[in-house]
Amino acid sequence: MPFIVLGSIVGLVIATIVVLILLIWSWSPGKIAPFLDESGNVLTDSVSEIVNVEINGMKQGMIIKGRSDKNPVLLFLHGGPGNPEYVFTKDYPLNLEDYFTVCWWDQRGGGMSYSSSIKPGTITLEQMISDTVQVTNYIRERFNKEKIYLMGHSWGSFLGIHTIQQYPELFEAYIGIGQVTDQLESERLGYEHMLSIAQSENDKKTIKKLTGYKLIGAKSVTQDYLMLRSNIMSKQGNGMLHAPPSKLSLLMSVFQTREYTLSDKYGYAMGSLLSLNQPMNDSQFATNIFESITKLSVPIYIIHGVYDRQVSYQLSKEYFEVVDAPLKFFYTFENSAHSPLLEEPERFMQIIKNDVLAIRYTASRLDLSLIVKQ
């Protein structure tokens, strides 16, 4: 009897695995739906496609979508590094495509741009800036735009603000979400907050785990620590989302993205791990933009959730107050942690429509006073 029971369990497990594989396969055609009008016809001038472009000698994937190719163009720089965010747009719709032609680029080593030939220690911040510029020039030429908008979230904000600083002539404006400033100090502040909460709750298990780490220098922010920090902050409401979804729901977002093939989904998982062992990631913890980026030449919009401890809200606001820019705006999202674009999408889109797109900065407006929105 025990052998019959064991055989039944093994059979059930195998059958479940087979069903899951078939289900994921059915969710992975690698195709994208067009925009349709009320009659069911493809919307005139709309764009909805998956493309692979050679960027600095490597094929990289991107999803380009917009209801009209006459709209402004926006390049979205995802976080991670190595975590493309298009996969979350079904569960957290933003409708950016109603106002822009949006390029959702999977950065080198992540998702559609993953390659097993990429080795740890080979992707630098400089490489990623160069890639960003090449992608920018590709979509500028493709849609005949002199300048485009640049939006970066988390790691993407670190990459974005460096790109904006070095190549301002390519961009209309910069939108930084969960803006990285001095990430080593941010980690220290986050560590103190996590430990304080654990101590107030007498959570001995979490206290023991945290006290095993000492954040002294960029190299002390290890992969193990980042994983621990993410888990604890998520539980405390200060991580990716203030009211975090289950890990299964996040995983399902990747699995159910029909624009990805099975290979792309494998690339998403492998790219997330690969990015943690790259110099570009180390640069986040070794750079203090309070010192290195004190002036920008384009309008900047910084959007930050007040509960964000993954990337310090406090430091982001302090940086905004000292950085010099022709126009600058800061927005506090009162019900968000690290992802205000997902947590408060209606307010996020109001800012995009009413502020970002309402201001077309030109050199003749250099004498405008700085505008601050709290």
Which residue from 328, 323, 264 is spatially nearest to 292, judged by alpha carbons?
323
Helix (H) or strand (E) holding 269: helix 262-275
Alpha-carbon separation of residue 37 from 46, 95, 102 (angstroms): 10, 16, 19
Q: Which residues contact 163 (CB under 8 A, 6 or more apart)?
A: 129, 132, 133, 136, 150
Q: Which residues contact 317 (CB under 8 A, 6 or more apart)?
A: 304, 330, 332
- CA–CA gap between residue 275 and residue 247 (Å, rounded): 20
- CA–CA gap between residue 190 and residue 321 (Å, rounded): 21
Single out the catalytic residue among 78, 338, 339, 355.
338
- CA–CA gap between residue 126 and residue 140 (Å, rounded): 21
Q: Is 338 annotated as catalytic?
A: yes
Q: Is 154 annotated as catalytic?
A: yes
Single out the catalytic residue among 275, 308, 312, 355.
308
Identify residue 220 by its one-letter amino acid code. S
Which residue from 116, 62, 89, 97 is spatially nearest to 256, judged by alpha carbons?
89
Alpha-carbon separation of residue 102 from 8, 70, 111, 151 (angstroms): 50, 12, 17, 10
Q: Is 26 annotated as catalytic?
A: no
CB of 73 closer than 8 Å to CB of 148: yes
Alpha-carbon separation of residue 345 from 209, 293, 341, 350 (angstroms): 35, 29, 5, 9
Single out the catalytic residue among 28, 113, 154, 186.
154
Which residue numbers are catalytic? 154, 308, 338
